[in-house]
Amino acid sequence: MVKERKFLKGPRLRDVSTYEFPGLKKALSLGPDRIIQQISDARLLGRGGAGFPTGTKWDLALQQQGERKYMICNADEGEPGTFKDRYLLEERPLKVLEGLMIGAYAVGATQGYIYIRGEYSEPIKIVREILEDAREEGILGEDIFGSGFDFDIKLVRGAGAYVCGDETSLINSIEGKRGISRIKPPYPIQEGLYGHPTVVNNVESLACAAEIIKQGAGEFAALGTDNSRGTKLISLSGDINISEVFEIEFGSCTLSEIIENLGGGVRRGRDPKFVIPGGLSTAALLPEELDCTYTYEGIESAGSSLGSGAIIVVGESRDLVDILLKVSRFYMDETCGTCFPCREGNKQINYMLSQHRNKKFSGQEVELIEDIGEVIAAAARCGLGQTSLSLINSIFNKFPEELIEEVIHVD
Ligand SMILES: Cc1cc2nc3c(=O)[nH]c(=O)nc-3n(C[C@H](O)[C@H](O)[C@H](O)COP(=O)(O)O)c2cc1C
Ligand code: SF4
């Protein structure tokens, strides 16, 4: 039986006047080097999708020289099927605030930003209120807890573009520019917001950092496996009986156990047709591939990736072409258009798919879709173009009988 592990989840935490900020107080006494050592020892990997080590990111940012540094919380959460950051913003926003402040103190940032998805009206209201309360209580501002640390946070509301979750597009958006991805290098930690060193971290990464400093790196590192430490918030949705945010200890269960035991099984009691394990940018897994352990390495060995932790279950009765069309429509609408192959390629693929409502694809057409996907990925400036065909290609590969005309071999 899979059990939820509570490292991040817990009782509602929104009242600034009664919260002690234990992680932040401890961090202020540790100093930047020892905070970063703790985060590195915990082996926390960024929870925004790319899995970059948070300790390394903070260390690189600390080394940067500059009169100003910025620390940004990425709460754009635009990946379809992902709603775990919303849980933290609504239920435990003080953990997120605390993590952002700890990160800022560790890297030497004096100004922070929380960039929230525009549609998240309730989290926006909650975060606005806690920022006002924190200023009133002297938790934000000058000389925080008598430590000499000055820091304040601005809340920025996104305008609904998926690409603005990409850290460089997000930085452009905060600067009031069009939300398009920047060429890297320079990376944000070298030249980010207004040209200054900038750290961008996911909501869950920051909440984890606050808990790691409070509880100690050992508590976190003792959970999970060698390559996947700690716990992970997952957003479980689709054709499933219970659609919710759960917290899983890495390595404690398989994907099929998550679906059966936490999700209450597939709706109407059948096997899933397939499962998307980490959001729309990850490859589909068939029912027989779901016995992989829920870790970065376990899902990779099954042929996909953990992504943002959005597990979407697709039931047997779903029409594959309909799904392909919806996925490609998403990428066609959400491309920022800067890279020509991403802009035009996703449009062409959507057009090709729309011609196949009741007819199978020829092998040549599938090859063409794969080729266009390769060109999009090779020329892509950001992760959107690099992964826009991952799910679509995997559906073609896994359902050839349903989607592709039979190939007749002539000897
Ligand atoms: C198209 C696109 C959308 C993204 N959306 C998000 C998002 O909504 N939230 C997020 O934290 N990271 C998102 N990312 C990843 C960010 O660029 C960045 O890697 C992340 O915020 C870093 O935080 P972490 O190191 O704590 O994971 C997105 C990346 C791409 C390419
Ligand atoms: S890959 Fe696509 S979304 Fe990313 S910068 Fe290029 S055009 Fe924009």
The CB of 169 under 6 Å from ligand 2? The reply is no
The CB of 339 under 6 Å from ligand 2? The reply is yes
CB-based burial label for 157 (10 Å; 0-12, 13-18, 19+)? middle
Say which ligand is closest to the CA of 192. 1
Say which ligand is closest to the CA of 333. 2
pLDDT digits (tens, 9 = 90+) for 7-22: 899 999 999 999 999 9
* 152 CA → ligand 1 middle, Å: 23
- Check whether 74 has a pLDDT greater than 90: yes
Which pLDDT does position 1 carry in this prediction?
A: 65
List, in sequence order, every residue forming a beta bridge with 53; answer none if it has no partner. 45
Nearest ligand 1 atom to alpha carbon 204: 26
List, in sequence order, every residue forming a beta bridge with 198; answer none if it has no partner. 70
pLDDT digits (tens, 9 = 90+) for 90-149: 999 999 999 999 999 999 999 999 999 999 999 999 999 999 999 999 999 999 999 999
- Check whether 409 has a pLDDT greater than 60: no
| List of domains in the chain | 22-221 (3.40.50.11540), 231-315 (3.10.20.600), 320-403 (1.20.1440.230)
Rounded Cα gap, residues 85 and 73, in angstroms: 11
Please state the φ and ψ torsions of residue 395, each to the nearest 5 degrees.
Answer: -65, -40
* 215 CA → ligand 2 middle, Å: 40
pLDDT digits (tens, 9 = 90+) for 229-267: 999 999 999 999 999 999 999 999 999 999 999 999 999
Nearest ligand 1 atom to alpha carbon 206: 26
Which pLDDT does position 270 carry in this prediction?
A: 78
Which 3 state secondary structure label does DSSP give 181? coil
Side chain identity at residue 172, one-letter code: N
DSSP summary character for residue 9: -
